[in-house]
Amino acid sequence: MYRTKTCGELRLADAGTNVKLAGWVQRVRKMGGMTFVDVRDRYGITQVVFDTDLPELFEAANALGREYVVQIEGKVAERASKNDKLPTGDIEIIAKGLKVLNKSEIPPFTIEDNTDGGDDLRMKYRYLDLRRQCVKRNLELRHKMAFEIRRYLDSKGFLEIETPILVKSTPEGARDFVVPSRMNPGEFYALPQSPQLFKQLLMVSGYDRYFQIAKCFRDEDLRADRQPEFTQIDCEMSFVEQEDVIQMFEGLVKHIFKYVKGIDFTEPFPRMTWDDAMRLYGSDKPDIRFGMPFVELTDLVKGKGFKVMDDAELTVAIAAPGCASYTRKQLDELTEFVKRPQVGAKGLVWVKFEPDGSVKSSVGKFFTEDQLKEWGEKAGAKAGDLLLVLSGDAMKTRKQLCELRLEMGNRLGLRDKNVFAPLWVVDFPLFEWDEETQRYYAMHHPFTSPNPDDVPMLKTDTGKVRATAYDIVVNGTELGGGSIRIHDAALQDQMFELLGFTPERAQEQFGFLMNAFKYGAPPHGGLALGFDRFVSIVAGLDSIRDVIAFPKNNSGRDVMNESPSPIDPAQLEELKLKLDLEEEKK
Amino acid sequence: MYRTKTCGELRLADAGTNVKLAGWVQRVRKMGGMTFVDVRDRYGITQVVFDTDLPELFEAANALGREYVVQIEGKVAERASKNDKLPTGDIEIIAKGLKVLNKSEIPPFTIEDNTDGGDDLRMKYRYLDLRRQCVKRNLELRHKMAFEIRRYLDSKGFLEIETPILVKSTPEGARDFVVPSRMNPGEFYALPQSPQLFKQLLMVSGYDRYFQIAKCFRDEDLRADRQPEFTQIDCEMSFVEQEDVIQMFEGLVKHIFKYVKGIDFTEPFPRMTWDDAMRLYGSDKPDIRFGMPFVELTDLVKGKGFKVMDDAELTVAIAAPGCASYTRKQLDELTEFVKRPQVGAKGLVWVKFEPDGSVKSSVGKFFTEDQLKEWGEKAGAKAGDLLLVLSGDAMKTRKQLCELRLEMGNRLGLRDKNVFAPLWVVDFPLFEWDEETQRYYAMHHPFTSPNPDDVPMLKTDTGKVRATAYDIVVNGTELGGGSIRIHDAALQDQMFELLGFTPERAQEQFGFLMNAFKYGAPPHGGLALGFDRFVSIVAGLDSIRDVIAFPKNNSGRDVMNESPSPIDPAQLEELKLKLDLEEEKK
């Protein structure tokens, strides 16, 4: 045993006791005849004092470098000048012994929350980056959340069942990572995009409450916040309806906030239909930490001679509270914001409702003050508020205004990372129409059950059929979602037909699950939550990368250990594979 | 909600209440005007009664087939003839409603503990096999053990940290599964054989108590009880010595036996050096549920004119208690046993110590009764015991006698699956000499620390250097093992040299970890337990396959979903790969 105490636990009450600590040298400060060494471990930082009374020891302390690994023996003493920023700040160790357990080269960046190391350098030396307390807190949070998720689900009778990582490749959905099989030359495993198939099989097997904190894989071109491997809280239940699933996992989210963040949600989470979410927030994952819902002005603005609005399918506004005072510069910034290619609007109309009752607008010459006041009334704008108005194609305009609303939320400080606003979005459409291929696609997957009320419309009004599908959204981020699955063979056949599958193709792609369903499939449904995302939301972080110990970059590379990497030609030969890089060489 | 109660929870106290159940039809028994339907779910079986008073319902019940999914409404009633084999055997449900939620085709085998389905059929329909209560119990045990492992390690301050599945391929060790990278053509990830590298990095990062229940992968030719993917309880600690690690994980194993099996190990687990284990049991994983340790007779048998023993490096015996009564047939069976190619002995010498004090032996013409009695005395054989003796090359003979000892344990009923005998094996040799390549190999891995006492012998007496490595063995099966790692760069260099690595090759293969070690590596060590193995030991099963939900067969195939399988040529093209199956086609 190299230590009797950690660097985070000594308090004033320990003064006078002899202790042994081990850790890393955070800092050495030489003050005349005294040298102060801050020793850090996972649990905290403790100050150790060396003085000239023990000259050999003093000299050894002065020779210490940053990040040396040391073992300290000494006596706990009350500090003369206490540090109230450290839990151990009331005490220090009067050193009696010092052993250098290992030296360290000078690290390429400082091991501090505010480090001088840039992103790339920190990822290359991730093992040093992980020493920083702010990174460590994220991994501690991740551990605690995983533990509490398991504690909750175990208490509800769920069984965690591991499903395979080497699975069958399926052509539907995102691109699979594949693994060549040496023992079965020419054949490949796939890494699972989710345990969907296996969890539905487990329901057929009668494991009516299943969960797994499962690694999933997608070979996608990586966007800013995607990882080729990610972790999912995957769940499925039998003999349940939508309400049962929602209650169970609302309970899980509440449990986590309670035991991890000390936040007690006593009320049910609000619910919103997909239609309302799109109409009021232009998004299927609205951030409801703040208001500013959309108000449609189309009827009020049409036929008044302003061509932009006359021609537009939709004119829609938000009322930004207290923003009538915005300067020309601020308004120009907002106009620039909506015109950025990522947002894509042609321009922005604004109306200021001044505190004195007067009205100013960028479209003042097309509309009378009374007309503009009518807009304000409909939008619930009060004196001092700013109305921001977009016009155009309905779907596109809603998405643009959604971006603007979030931007206004940021500007007004309404998106506090310490405030959490969960929301269920329900009644998703079952189908999405694709203009290009002129056919319907399943919005979730082909096993999602239609809303029983809408089954009669499946053929007559396909696009309007609602799914028994639900998403849980927190602060404008999709935390997860799920659905009740189809367990009736006839209904499943009808779905495949609507999705344009021939019976042969349906059999080829999904035959395996459908065969299993012949032997008594129970009604079932479930949900999956993005675990990385969940942790990052609770931590108040923007990126999932910060809550993953060893993440990959946007090219799917681990820059720390330089993987992926070429492999031995002998290994390729064993796998009966050849590289086919000709195109590259041209 | 499809049910108000499960099929496992109703008791006599519930009589008179109205309930709703859902589950699978286990059995339909028609007895004149009554039909009894056993309904099964994950929690148990409940009997439901239909009679002619409700003719429509009665008819519907008579039409039910095995494994139909049904919803039952009815009233709980006390049974006339109780079934004390079922927890619900005191009651039955008088049916008032029956809804068929799904039909089932006739399953290919019976869903009973004693099923009529053979191995292959059950693996093909694994989703039906998983319905059997005996299989379900194994997965429930697995869940409970994983949960309790986490509860113990969390309580000891361990953090569970997920390490990547897409890692760097390393040429050392067993064969890696590889994953071609589409975004980095010509390059490959590997699937981890263990998180060894990452857990040592986490120690460098200061996460002094790490664990993970981690998926690991090995592309090996599969022996009977190997799986290409398996699960490991992977742990590492900093600032510890061997004793700290042993204490911590002995605590874990005790915790599991206590909370999962109700077995309280109050004494420390016994420990045995590797030398003793080999000398006394011919194995580094002795089954100490029973005695019969080896007794070496070499000195007593040499020079007596029996050529086999005169020429043998070692003559070694076990005394089988009470087996002097063995018949010629039984003795022949034992001789056949040791001569099987898997064991490989040339023959077996036996000595019977009859209850009347006389001695009989297969080598009676070479040795006097007094000489044989001397053997028996040395071996501690009492009247009525049977001495079984093997001679030959020391290492081979020990392994042969080890097999014979286990066989005798089986024959004598000394290997009770409900008795658990854990054992630490310590002081493993650091190096293994390989005759073929005429060099030393690391018995564990090149980062294993030598016993500090033996460091001076590293160059002079390499083969005798003990490692600071330990295995935990239960009932003759290796549950896991680990070591204290080298954290000193100079010692590590010396190790590489002894293992025949040039500095260049060491840098190429392990440079990444060695670079990390330059920035303050703490003393550290750890251990990994085979989780599948742990569950199968606790369940008293011989195979790990029985505790894996969806295992693969000996060719690495999932016969249920027919993976691995060929993939689309377009996908190969995207990966810049070509199949190279020419050899196959010849």
Distance from CA of A172 to the nearest CA of B (A): 12
Question: Which residue in the set B175, B556, B578 is minimally distant from A580, CB to CB?
Answer: B578
SS3 A38: strand
Decide if B255 is inside a domain.
yes
Tens-digit pLDDT profile for residues B506-544:
887 788 888 999 999 999 999 999 999 999 999 999 899
Closest Cα of chain B to A201: distance in Å? 6
Q: pLDDT per residue over A264-304, tens digit each?
A: 999 999 999 999 999 999 999 999 999 999 999 999 999 99
List the one residue out of B294, B340, B332 whose CA is nearest residue B314.
B294
Alpha carbon distance A86, A10 (integer Å): 11
Among B384, B411, B438, which residue terminates a domain? B411
A95, A164: one domain: no
What torsion, rounded to 10 degrees, do the Cα atoms B240, A77, A102, A130 define? Answer: 80
pLDDT for the residue B169: 86
- Closest in A150, A191, A581 to B186, CB measured: A581
C-beta separation of B27 from B66 below 8 A: yes
Cα gap B267→A255, rounded to integer Å? 39
Q: Is residue A272 part of a domain?
A: no
Assign A586 a pLDDT band (cuts: 50, 70, 90).
Answer: very low
Contact B239 A1 (CB under 8 A): yes
Q: Is A92 part of any domain?
A: yes
DSSP A131-161: TSHHHHHHHHHHHHHHHHHHHHHHHTT-EE-
Do B355 and B377 belong to one domain? yes
pLDDT of residue B172: 66
CA atoms within 13 A on the CB side of B399: 9
| Rounded Cα distance, B58 and B35, in Å | 7
Ramachandran angles phi, psi of B513, nearest 5°: -70, -40
B26 and B86 belong to one structural domain: yes
Distances (CA, A) of A383 to A325, A373, A455: 11, 10, 48
Closest CA of chain B from A101, distance in Å: 7
Given a contact cutoff of 8 angstroms between Cβ atoms, the answer to whether A189 and A166 are in contact is: yes
A180, A523, A564 member nearest B101 (Cβ)? A523
Q: Whose CA is closest to B208, among B513, B522, B489, B515?
A: B522
Residue A170 predicted with pLDDT over 80? no
Query: Are A184 and A249 members of one domain?
Result: yes
The helix or strand, by DSSP H or E, that contains position A269, with its residue range, turns out to be none
HSE-CB for A151 with a 13 A CA cutoff: 15
Whether residue A116 is contained in a domain is answered as: no
Same domain assignment for residues B426 and B507: yes
User: What pLDDT does B210 receive?
Assistant: 98
Q: Residue range A42-55: average pLDDT? A: 96
Those residues with Cβ within 8 angstroms of residue A526's Cβ, 6 or more apart along the chain or in another chain: A199, A210, A234, A235, A236, A237, A245, A482, A483, A485
Residue-range definition of the domain harbouring residue A352? 290-411
Here the CATH number for the domain that contains residue B378 is 3.30.1360.30
Please write the tens of the pLDDT for every residue from B373-395.
999 999 999 999 999 999 999 99
Sorting pLDDT into bands at 50, 70 and 90, what band is A429?
very high
Strand order in the sheet with A359-361: A295-296, A314-320, A386-392, A349-353, A359-361
Nearest to B184 among A136, A160, A556 (CB): A556
**Is the per-residue pLDDT at A33 higher than 70?**
yes
pLDDT at B32: 86
Task: State the alpha helices, DSSP H only, in A519-574.
Answer: 531-539, 569-574
The count of residues in chain A is 586
Looking at the partner chain, which of A3, A126, A562 has a beta carbon nearest the beta carbon of B168? Answer: A562
Cβ within 8 Å of residue B55, ≥6 positions away: none
Burial class (CB within 10 angstroms; exposed 0-12, middle 13-18, buried 19+) of B109: middle
CB atoms A202 and B143 under 8 Å: no
Check: CB of residue A265 under 8 Å from CB of residue A422: yes
Mean pLDDT of all residues in A507-527: 91
* Residue of chain B nearest A178, judged by CA positions: B179
Q: Is B478 exposed, middle or buried (0-12, 13-18, 19+ CB in 10 A)?
A: middle
pLDDT band for position B583 (50/70/90)? low
Query: Does residue B171 have a pLDDT over 90?
Result: no
The structure tokens 């005394």 sit at B319
Q: Rounded to whole angstroms, how far apart are CA atoms A315 and A308?
A: 9
Are the CB atoms for B498 and B458 separated by under 8 Å? yes
- My answer on whether A444 and A382 are in the same domain is no
- CA–chain centroid gap for A496, Å, is 32
Q: What is the pLDDT of residue B586?
A: 45
Which CATH number covers residue B537?
Answer: 3.30.930.10
> Of residues B19 and A586, which shows the higher confidence score?
B19
B277-324 residue pLDDT tens: 999 999 999 999 999 999 999 999 999 999 999 999 999 999 999 999
Please list every residue in chain A whose beta carbon sits closer than 8 Å to the beta carbon of residue B522.
22, 69, 101-102
Q: How many residues does chain B have?
A: 586
Place of tokens 């070692």: B314
Three-class HEC string of B111-141? CCCCCCCCHHHHHHCHHHHCCCHHHHHHHHH
Which pLDDT value is given to residue A510?
82
Residue numbers in B near A23 (CB within 8 A) = 206
Q: Give contacts of B107 with chain A, Cβ < 8 Å.
A: 519
CB-based contact A206 B42, cutoff 8 Å: yes
Cis previous bond, B341, omega within 30: no
Q: What's the CA gap between B583 and A55, in Å, rounded?
A: 75
| Amino acid identity, position A271 | R
Does B428 lie in the same domain as B399? no
* β-strands A91-102, A159-160 pairing: unpaired
Given B131, B488, B519, which is nearest A107 (Cβ)?
A: B519
Q: How confident is the model at residue A505 (pLDDT cuts 50, 70, 90)?
A: confident
Q: Is residue A499 part of a domain?
A: yes
Return the H-helix or E-strand segment holding B41.
strand B34-41
Q: Do residues A496 and A429 share a domain? A: yes
Of A128, A239, A579, the CB nearest to B22: A239
User: Are B198 and A519 an interchain contact pair (Cβ–Cβ within 8 Å)?
Assistant: no
Question: Is A582's pLDDT higher than 80?
Answer: no
* CA–CA distance, A495 with A509 (Å, rounded to integer): 14
CB contact under 8 A, B563 and A168: yes
Cβ burial of A412 (10 Å; 0-12, 13-18, 19+) is middle
Same domain, B370 and B299: yes
Among A189, A246, A449, the residue to mutate for chain B (most B Cβ within 10 A): A189
In a domain, B118, yes or no: no
Q: Is the pLDDT of residue B275 over 90?
A: yes
Task: Provide the 8-state DSSP code for B298.
Answer: H
Question: B159: which chain A residues are within 8 Å (Cβ-Cβ)?
Answer: 139-140, 143
Mean pLDDT computed over A186-211: 96
Confidence at A583, pLDDT banded by 50, 70, 90: low
Q: Classify residue A16 by burial, with Cβ atoms within 10 Å: 0-12, 13-18, 19+.
A: exposed
- The answer on pLDDT for B561 being more than 80 is yes
Whether residue B143 and residue A161 make contact (CB cut-off 8 A), yes or no, is: yes
More confident residue, A32 or A62: A62
Query: Domain boundary at A497, A527, A557, which?
Result: A527
Residues on chain B touching A516 (C-beta within 8 angstroms): 127
3-class secondary structure, A464: helix
Q: Are residues A191 and A241 in the same domain?
A: yes
Instruction: Indicate yes or no: CB of A178 within 8 angstroms of CB of B2.
Output: no
Do A139 and A255 fall within a single domain? yes
Q: What is the CATH number of the domain that holds B95?
A: 2.40.50.140
Q: Is the pLDDT of residue A444 over 90?
A: no
Yes or no: say if A382 and A353 are a contact pair by the CB < 8 Å rule.
yes
The string of pLDDT tens digits covering residues B58-70 is 999 999 999 999 9
**CB–CB contact B107 A191 (8 Å):** no
Tally of domains within chain B: 4
| B187 closest CB neighbour out of A240, A241, A564 | A564
Mean pLDDT of all residues belonging to chain B = 94
CA B367 to chain centre: 44
Alpha helices in A46-189 (DSSP H): 55-62, 119-124, 126-129, 133-155
Give the model confidence (pLDDT) of B228-253 as tens digits.
Answer: 999 999 999 999 999 999 999 999 99
Task: Report the run of H or E that residue A215 belongs to, with start and end.
Answer: strand A209-217
Residue B170 lies in a domain: yes
Residue A130: closest CA among A207, A40, A47? A40
Q: List the single residue in B with minimal CA-CA distance to A240.
A: B1
**CA-based angle A507:A512:A518, to the nearest 5?**
90
Report the gap between the CA of A509 and the closest CA in chain B (Å): 11
Average confidence (pLDDT) over B559-572: 90
Q: Specify if A583 maps to a domain.
A: no
Looking at the DSSP bridge assignments, the partners of residue A471 are: A425, A481
A560: closest CA among B202, B504, B213, B448?
A: B202
Q: What is the structure's pLDDT at A172?
A: 66
Contact, B168 vs B189, CB < 8 A?
yes
Q: Give the lowest-confidence range in A17-21, A43-47, A418-422, A492-496.
A: A492-496
pLDDT, one tens digit per residue, over A81-100 is 999 999 999 999 999 999 99
* Spatial separation of the C-alpha atoms in residues A423 and A429, rounded to whole Å: 18
A22 to B239: CB separation less than 8 angstroms, yes or no: yes
B203 and B165 part of one domain: yes
Other Cβ atoms less than 10 A from the Cβ of A264: the count is 8
Phi-psi region of A89 (alpha: psi -120 to 50; beta: other; left: phi over 0): alpha
The alpha-carbon gap from A327 to the nearest alpha carbon of chain B, in Å, equals 47
Nearest in space to B331 (alpha carbons), one of B315, B342, B320: B320
Q: What percentage of chain A exceeds 70 in pLDDT?
A: 98
Over 90: is that where the pLDDT of A199 sits?
Answer: yes
ipTM: 0.95
Angstrom distances, CA of residue B213 to CA of B126, B203, B504: 24, 17, 35
Rounded to whole angstroms, how far apart are CA atoms A208 and B3? 12
Contact check, Cβ <8 Å, B104/A519: yes
pLDDT digits (tens, 9 = 90+) for B69-85: 999 999 999 999 999 99
